[in-house]
Amino acid sequence: MCGIWALFGSDECLSVQCTCAMKIGHRGPDAFRFENVNDYTNCCFGFHRLAIVDPLYGMQPLRIKKFPFLWLCYNGEIYNHLQLKRHFKFDYQTQVDGEILLHLYNQNGIQEMASLLDGVFAFILLDTANRKVFLGRDTYGVRPLFRLLTDNGFLAVCSEAKGLTQITHSMSEPAKITPFPPGHFEEFDLKQTGKVKSVRLESFHSCTDKPRHAVHDMFVSACPDFALEAVKHNIRILFENAVRKRLMAHRRIGCLLSGGLDSSLVAATLVKLAKEEKLQYQIQTFAIGADDSPDVVAARKVADHIGSNHHEVNFTPEEGICALEEVILHLESYDITTVRASVGMYLVSKYIREKTDSVVIFSGEGSDELTQGYIYFHRAPTPKAAAEDSERLLKELYMFDVLRADRTTALNKVAGLVSLPLISEILRVPFLDHRFTAYYLSLPEEMRVPKDGVEKHLLRDAFRGLNLIPDEILWRRKEAFSDGITSMKKSWYTSLQEHIDSQVNDSELEEAPNLFPYNPPTTKEGFFFRQIFEKHYPGRSKWISHYWMPRWIKATDPSARTLSIYKPDKDQ
C-alpha cells in the first residue's frame, strides 16, 4: 500500500505542485521522496512508502545501474517476480519485486511486460532514452490510479484523485480527473518540453483471458476435465495456490474474518499454509460487529475451529454515523452500498492499525462477483445472463468493492493526531487471483449458478467434507452487511435510515435532479451521501459511472435486506 504521484510538463512551480502529493501521505507512512527528472525540469515523481518487501532498497522512483534511463514508480505486489527472474536469467540489483518491470520492459516491451505480471499493481514508467511515459493498472483495479491530462499535454498521475484536485495548470478549461481503466496500459510520447501526447491505450488482460504468465507458474496446472469432481479439485488447488503466493511479506500477516463463506475460506487456508511455511507467529483474524451480531458469532466459531489469534471489534451505529464523512472523504465515492459497507471496514482497519502489528491483511473481496454470490443471482433469467453479469461485476470492481477495500485500509493517522503516524495496511485478495478467476469463468455457465436455493453452491461443494471450516459456516447463507454486523434487535441499515431522515427532508429530495443532474440520488440516503461528497469534491461526480444496484429485480435500494427473496440467518 504505497502512494505514487507524478507530473509531466507542469507549467507551475514544482515546489508548489508537490504539496498536492502530501494528500496521499496516508498511503505510505514509512518514508517519502520527491525527485525531479534529469533534463526535464518540469517533470517529477512523488512516492509515499509502506515497506513490505526489501526494506533497504525499496524507495522509489526505482532506478538501477543497468538501465539508468528508466524511472519506475509503482504501487503493488508482483507475486511471480522470482519465477520470471529465474526464467529469463535476469541479474537483479535489489530484492524489490517491482524491479522485474524494468527488466521485462527493456527486454520485451510494455505489452509483454504488463501481460507477464502476476499481481496487483499501478505503475508509472518513464523511459528517457526513447522519450516515453507509460501508465498501467492490474486486471481488476485492485491498486488505484487516476490521471489528469490537459489539452496542451500536461499529465498528472496519482494513486488517489485527491492528490490531483488542487493541481494547477495553464489551461482555461478545467481538466478532467479520471480513473485509469483496469487491465490497460497507456503509452505517451514525451516531448523535450516535458509535455506528453497519448499515442495508444490498450488492454493487456481481461478477466476471461487465460493469463500469459501462467506458462511460468510454478504451481500445478488445472486439469482440463469439466467433470464435477475434477472441477472441485481444481478449485481447491487453484485457490490454495492463490493464498500461498500471497504469503510474500516481511511484515506480519492477518486476515479479516466476517464469519461468511469467503473470508472463512481465506482465513482457514491462510492459517493452514502459515503452519506449513512455519511462520514464526500466529495468524491474527479480525471481526467487527455488536456482541450479539450474526457475523461476530460466526467468526468466533471459525476462529476457534482454525486456531487463529482472534480479535473482535465492537460496532455501534452511533460510531458508524460519526465516521461517515471521513469515510466518504477517503473513498472519493458517493455510491450507497460502497459507503455503507466501508464504515465497518474502516473501523476494523482503524483497530488493526492502533492495536496490533499486522500489516498485510487478507480478505475475501471478489468472491461474490466471481462466484455469483449476490442474492439477486437467484433471479437470473438464464445461466448465460448470470455469467454475463458476473463478468460485468468483476470489470466494475474498481468502482465499488476493491475501491472500498483499498481506501479503508490505506488510512494511517489517528484523527486529530496528525503527528502520530500509524502503520497502514496492505490488502491481499486471493479470490481475484488471475488463474483462479480465469478458470472459474471458463466453467460451464450451468455449473456456476445458484443451486438448491443456495448461492455459490459450486464453491461450497468444492470444500465439502474437508473440515477446513465448520459445516454450518460452509453452508451459511449470504448475510446483508447491515444485518451481519449489528445487533439482532436493530440493524445498521435501520439506524442509518433513522439518522438520515432527521437530516434530509422530502422537499430537498425532490430537488435532487436539479442539484445533481448526473447520477441524481433517488433516496434520502443517496442525497445525504452525495451532499458530503460534493462538499469535498465539487463537480467530480463522474468518478463513478452509476450506482451499484441488483439486477432482474425491481429495487430502489442496493441492500440485500430490501429484496423480497432475502432472509437473514435469524429468519432461516
Which residue is listed with cell 534511463?
Answer: 69
Closest CA to 451 of 377, 361, 359, 395: 377
Q: Would residue 2 show up in a list of annotated catalytic residues for this protein? A: yes
DSSP-assigned letter for residue 478 = P
- 230 close to 211: Cβ distance less than 8 angstroms: no
CA distance 133 to 88: 24
Consult the annotation and say whether 256 binds a ligand.
yes
Query: Is 310:255 a contact under the CB 8 Å cutoff?
Result: no
Contacts of 223 (CB under 8 A, 6+ apart): 230, 233, 234
Closest by Cα among 226, 283, 293, 222 to 256: 283
Helices (H) and strands (E) in the chain, counts: 21, 18
Cα–Cα dist 370/262, whole Å: 11
Reference 214, options 140, 143, 117, 142; nearest CA is 117
Nearest to 125 by CA among 139, 136, 109: 136
Q: Is the peptide bond before 55 cis (omega within 30 degrees of 0)?
A: no
Q: Who's near 287: CB < 8 A, 6+ residues apart?
A: 256, 257, 258, 259, 295, 296, 299, 300, 303, 310, 311, 312, 313, 348
Q: Give the closest residue to 131 by CA, choosing from 69, 180, 62, 64.
A: 69
Residue for cell digits 455449473?
447
How far apart are alpha carbons 563 and 321 in whole angstroms? Answer: 24
CB within 8 Å of 517: residues ≥ 6 apart = none
Residue 517's CB is within 10 A of a number of other CB atoms, namely 9
Q: SS3 helix, strand, coil % of the chain, rounded to 5?
A: 40, 20, 40
Dihedral of CA 556/558/562/566: which sign?
A: positive
- Nearest Cα residue to 344 out of 250, 256, 421, 467: 256
What number of other Cβ atoms are within 10 A of residue 382's Cβ?
11
Which one of the listed residues 2, 43, 44, 73 is annotated catalytic? 2
Phi then psi for residue 444, to 5 deg, are -55, 140
496 marked as part of a ligand binding site: no
Q: Is residue 58 part of an annotated ligand binding site? A: no
DSSP string, 161-183: GGGTTT---S-SSPPPEEEPPTT
Which residue positions form the known binding site? 97, 256, 288, 363-364
Catalytic residues: 2
Which residue positions form the known binding site for ATP? 256, 288, 363-364
Which residue positions form the known binding site for L-glutamine? 97
